[in-house]
Amino acid sequence: MSASGLRRGLGILGGTFDPVHTGHLALAKTALQAMPLTRVELLPAGEPWQKSGISPGLHRLN
């Protein structure tokens, strides 16, 4: 494999993830297939101002 074909990046997918669902996972999978990434990490938003009634950030992180 040439150096340009190596997978070496980290993808970060941010969102509320309340809860994580198949759409989030499909987006992460598509990113892995479309870009030279070794993994995609989900990064839950803390307490977004534009949404109310979401689960506490600590619960969504775990």
pLDDT for 3 equals 55
The residue extents of the domains of the chain are 16-46+56-61
pLDDT in tens, the chain (62 residues): 445 667 789 999 999 999 999 999 999 999 999 999 999 999 998 877 888 888 887 788 77
SS3 62: coil
Query: Across the strands, what pairs with 43?
Result: 14
pLDDT for 6 equals 75
Query: Please, which contacts does 19-25 make with residues 24 or more away whose CB atoms are closer than 8 Å?
Result: 19/55, 19/60
**pLDDT tens readout for residues 2-12:** 456 677 899 99
Tokens found for residue 2: 């040439």
**8-38 b/e with 16+ CB inside 10 Å = b?**
eeebeeeebbbeeeeebeeebeebbeeeebe
